[in-house]
């Protein structure tokens, strides 16, 4: 740690890995980079359940200047906190899916209790000179609980997913309590200006807050900076992944599978926010309205399973597999299967090779905080023959990547037209669009994201 620099304490639901071996997600890549450079503590859930749960002894691994400390949860805590409130209430609500959100007092109590217990376990490990950076929708209340434990230092919060408009968020029975708890943080960060504006609108309309200069909001006697900090990827690292032996092997496998056809690829967790059903229907419309593509294109959707314990995800998988079968049944020939869906995951080196082999990447979420697949696809492209990014207008990445082909994922016709545009796009246009997007991806890396947020936190007003 540099002389006079505050120690970084990062809090997230899952901890690690500290070294990116091609398996880490966007949050982990950003935090591991910051912690390796600064030193500090990474605190979160162990991924395990036990009878003692959050009361069990913490486990700590030390890697150089970085300590990684984790605690367990009980089965009941995990069910109520994670599967219940976080993923049945908050996740759908914040993704504008009020129709899927479920609210009950028991899961809300479990969520608050786990936030309180994590704060109580963290409190003895920190000093007021530390910079505490809390991450994502699992821990809205943690900053407030840490204040209750006596912590007077600086605490920042970053939301990796969207923040919905107040008209939707007020449906949450504890919406006022939750946002008031967020005011215990000194800096609250969002992926996009839209998310930030939605948060500010809630503070003003529902809590009587007042907007101040410098991206600050005052509610009662609390003044908090609410700002936009779009997350990035390790662009140079992912570019290197794309020419690694593992990536080259997967690129070659895809090219052999596709032959002289053009490859369309989608890579998403199996989640209703990703617009997978709408995407499949858009591809079907492409084959209907532009029959010259039959036998000439192939669509590979990589969709690793997630949260399979939740009914909405089980139903989504069933619908997707049925729809893929329907499309293949309509259009397949003896030597061509239009659509292939894979529910297994790949590490990021393998994905880089799959991206590099694709002419088109479909990133069409119905709502997404950022979507780093879009940025990874750009970083992975071959400069001599770059592919085309087709990007939802509702993905946070749209603000930084306007040179993608922008689509409305709810419009089947729009997706089909955009696919046709991407598949027939001449090299000069593909190259121009890709170069502009590459410059944006390399300018807004994960390390820049960390440094910008932590700089704002260090410079925030003393309490």
Secondary structure of 118-136 in HEC code, one letter for each residue: HHHHHHHHCCCCCEEEEEC
- At 16 the pLDDT is 81
Question: How many angstroms separate the CA atoms of 90 and 97, rounded?
Answer: 10
> Of the ranges 40-49, 121-130, 167-176, 312-321, which one carries the lowest mean pLDDT score?
312-321
First to last CA, the chain: 24
Computed from CA positions of residues 229, 204, 198, 148, in that sequence, does the dihedral angle turn out positive or negative?
A: positive
Read off the pLDDT of residues 75-119 as tens digits, 9 standing for 90 and up: 999 999 999 999 999 999 999 999 999 999 999 999 999 999 999
What are the helix (H) ranges across 334-408?
348-356, 372-380
Mark whether 130 is an active-site residue: no
**Structural contact between residues 46 and 72, judged by C-beta atoms closer than 8 angstroms:** yes
Computed from CA positions of residues 190, 194, 196, 201, in that sequence, does the dihedral angle turn out positive or negative?
A: negative
Give the full edge-to-edge strand order of the sheet including 187-190: 59-63, 66-73, 40-49, 8-14, 131-135, 154-158, 187-190, 222-228, 216-219, 210-212
Instruction: Give me the residue label for tokens 């003896």.
Output: 334
Which of 33, 72, 368, 403 is catalytic? The answer is: 368
Instruction: Give me the residue label for tokens 């009587």.
Output: 208
SS (H, E, C) 247-273: HHHHHHHHHHHHCCCEEEEEECCCCHH
DSSP, collapsed to helix, strand or coil, labels residue 457 as helix
Mark whether 63 is an active-site residue: no
Question: How many angstroms separate the CA atoms of 455 and 381, rounded?
Answer: 32
The Cβ of residue 256 has, within 10 Å, a number of other Cβ atoms equal to: 9
Instruction: Give me the residue label for tokens 């069990």.
Output: 56
Q: Is the pLDDT of residue 57 over 90?
A: yes
Question: What is this structure's pTM?
Answer: 0.95
DSSP, collapsed to helix, strand or coil, labels residue 40 as strand
Instruction: Give me the residue label for tokens 């408009």.
Output: 165
Bridge partner residues of 299 (DSSP) = 264, 339
Question: How many angstroms separate the CA atoms of 184 and 224, rounded?
Answer: 8
**Structural contact between residues 168 and 192, judged by C-beta atoms closer than 8 angstroms:** no
Read off the pLDDT of residues 335-346 as tens digits, 9 standing for 90 and up: 999 999 999 889
Which of 33, 160, 250, 403 is catalytic? The answer is: 160
Read off the pLDDT of residues 249-293 as tens digits, 9 standing for 90 and up: 999 999 999 999 999 999 999 999 999 999 999 999 999 999 999
């Amino acid at each position: 740690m540099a002389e006079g620099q505050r120690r970084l304490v990062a809090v997230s639901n899952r901890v690690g890995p500290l070294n990116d071996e091609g398996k880490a997600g966007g949050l982990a890549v950003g935090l591991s980079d910051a912690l390796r450079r600064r030193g500090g503590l990474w605190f979160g859930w162990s991924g395990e359940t036990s009878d003692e749960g959050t009361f069990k002894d913490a486990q700590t691994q030390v890697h150089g200047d970085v300590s990684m400390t984790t605690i367990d949860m009980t089965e009941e805590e995990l069910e109520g906190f994670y599967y219940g409130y976080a993923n049945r209430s908050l996740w759908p609500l914040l993704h504008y899916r009020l129709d899927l959100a479920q609210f009950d007092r028991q899961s809300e109590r479990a969520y608050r209790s786990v936030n309180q217990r994590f704060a109580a376990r963290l409190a003895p490990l920190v000093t007021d000179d530390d910079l505490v950076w809390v991450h994502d929708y699992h821990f809205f209340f943690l900053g407030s609980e840490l204040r209750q434990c006596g912590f007077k230092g600086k605490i920042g919060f970053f939301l990796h997913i969207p923040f919905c408009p107040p008209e939707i968020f007020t449906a949450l029975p504890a919406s006022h309590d939750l946002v008031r708890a967020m005011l215990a943080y000194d800096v609250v960060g969002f992926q996009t200006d839209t998310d930030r504006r939605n948060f500010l609108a809630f503070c003003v309309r529902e809590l009587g807050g007042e907007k101040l200069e410098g991206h600050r909001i005052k509610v009662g006697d609390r003044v908090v900076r609410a700002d936009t900090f779009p997350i990035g990827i390790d662009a140079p690292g992912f570019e290197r992944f794309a020419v690694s032996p593992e990536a080259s092997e997967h690129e070659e496998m895809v090219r052999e599978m596709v032959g002289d056809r053009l490859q369309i690829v989608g890579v998403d967790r199996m989640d209703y926010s990703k617009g997978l059903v709408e995407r499949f229907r858009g591809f079907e419309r492409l084959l209907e309205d532009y029959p010259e593509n039959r036998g000439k294109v192939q669509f590979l959707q990589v969709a690793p399973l997630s949260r399979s314990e939740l009914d909405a995800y089980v139903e989504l998988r069933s619908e997707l597999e049925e729809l893929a079968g329907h499309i293949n049944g309509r259009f397949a020939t003896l030597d061509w299967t239009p659509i292939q869906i894979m529910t297994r995951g790949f590490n990021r080196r393998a994905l880089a090779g799959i991206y590099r082999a694709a002419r088109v990447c479909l990133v069409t979420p119905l709502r997404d905080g950022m979507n780093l697949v879009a940025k990874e696809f750009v970083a992975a492209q071959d400069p001599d023959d770059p592919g085309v990014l087709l990007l939802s207008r509702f993905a946070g990445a749209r603000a930084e990547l306007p040179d993608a082909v922008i689509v409305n994922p709810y419009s089947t016709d729009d997706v089909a037209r955009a696919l046709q545009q991407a598949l027939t796009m001449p090299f000069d246009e593909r190259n121009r669009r890709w170069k502009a997007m590459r410059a944006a991806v390399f300018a807004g890396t994960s390390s820049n994201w960390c440094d910008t947020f932590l700089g704002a936190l260090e410079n925030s007003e003393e309490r």
